């Protein structure tokens, strides 16, 4: 059998299981591939695109006014919206709020979101062509030489770094907890990427590299397990994935911090999906 046969290469087999899980997650009902709009709410009741009812915000709460025949129901309870309902969110929070359409009344889910201190809605349509036509994210072939051992150097305290996002009207914050320090094959110098901490001490780095805009999206991210007691961690660029903004123009995904740019071609992980 060839050396690249998963039966002979446990590392490759683990990567293929990761890819299967990743594609299954993207194909979930009303997931990122179903986004069809992003709209800021106004301060007076107004119609919006792709959803019935009148929508507004007073800055503290979002409000929706609709009549029962319009077919809107609350996602959480299934109760029809007949009159005015309201919801409050903190910044960066989201709520799958109401739904409508289709044979079961659930074809479209309207997500309420608070971004940059303002309320917005996003429609998620299970009949979106991006969703119905999805058959997996294109990737580079597995590169065992881009499974790197890195050293995590924590900061004394987390540092909040202002960043941009995929939406020019939404600013973001990157809470840097330290740096991953490593070398890449064929490169003569050391690389340092600022990392954020996720659940259970895992780390995520958002980065640019020299494949961006050519074979990959404008930026990607890769996550690691919690660093070992000696500070080392496996940084596997084969697990570099796209943010939702690679699949939809309606994302508000965080850009990399200024220094997270690699002068290197990371020909591993997910490629540009080219879906819109």
Backbone angles phi, psi at 130, to 5 degrees: -60, -40
Q: Are 116 and 38 in contact (CB under 8 A)?
A: no
pLDDT at 274: 75
13-29 confidence digits (pLDDT tens) = 999 999 999 999 999 99
Give the model's pLDDT for residue 7: 67
Rounded to whole angstroms, how far apart are CA atoms 203 and 165?
A: 20
Q: For the chain, list residues with pLDDT below 50.
A: 1-3, 276
**What are all long-range contacts of 241-245, with beta carbons under 8 Å and residues at least 24 apart?**
241/22, 241/137, 241/269, 241/270, 242/137, 242/216, 242/217, 242/270, 242/272, 242/273, 243/166, 243/206, 243/217, 243/219, 244/32, 244/35, 245/166, 245/217
Predicted confidence at residue 258, as pLDDT, reads 94
Confidence at residue 6, expressed as pLDDT on a 0 to 100 scale = 66
Kindly report the length of the chain: 276
């Amino acid at each position: 059998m060839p050396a690249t046969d998963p039966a002979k290469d446990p590392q490759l087999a683990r990567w293929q299981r990761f890819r299967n899980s990743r594609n299954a997650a993207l194909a979930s009902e009303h997931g990122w591939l179903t986004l069809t709009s992003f709209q800021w709410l106004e301060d007076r009741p107004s119609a919006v695109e792709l959803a019935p009812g009148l929508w507004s915000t007073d800055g503290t709460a979002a409000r929706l006014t609709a009549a029962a025949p319009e077919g809107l129901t609350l996602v959480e309870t299934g109760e029809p919206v007949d009159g005015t309902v309201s919801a409050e969110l903190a910044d960066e929070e989201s709520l799958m709020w109401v739904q409508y359409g289709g044979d079961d009344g659930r074809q479209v889910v309207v997500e309420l979101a608070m971004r940059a201190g303002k309320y917005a809605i996003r429609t998620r349509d299970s009949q979106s062509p991006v969703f119905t036509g999805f058959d997996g994210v294109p990737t580079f072939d597995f590169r065992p030489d881009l499974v790197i051992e890195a050293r995590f150097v924590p900061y004394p305290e987390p540092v909040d770094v202002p960043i941009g996002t995929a939406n020019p009207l939404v600013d973001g914050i990157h809470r840097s907890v330290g740096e991953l320090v490593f070398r890449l094959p064929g490169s003569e110098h050391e690389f340092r990427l600022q990392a954020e901490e996720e659940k259970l001490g895992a780390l995520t780095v958002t980065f640019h590299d020299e494949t961006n805009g050519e074979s990959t999206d404008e930026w990607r991210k890769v996550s690691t397990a919690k660093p070992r007691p000696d500070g080392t961690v496996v940084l596997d660029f084969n697990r570099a994935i796209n943010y939702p903004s690679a699949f939809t123009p309606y994302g508000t995904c965080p850009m990399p911090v200024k220094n997270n740019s690699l002068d290197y071609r990371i020909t591993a992980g997910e490629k540009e999906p080219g879906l819109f």
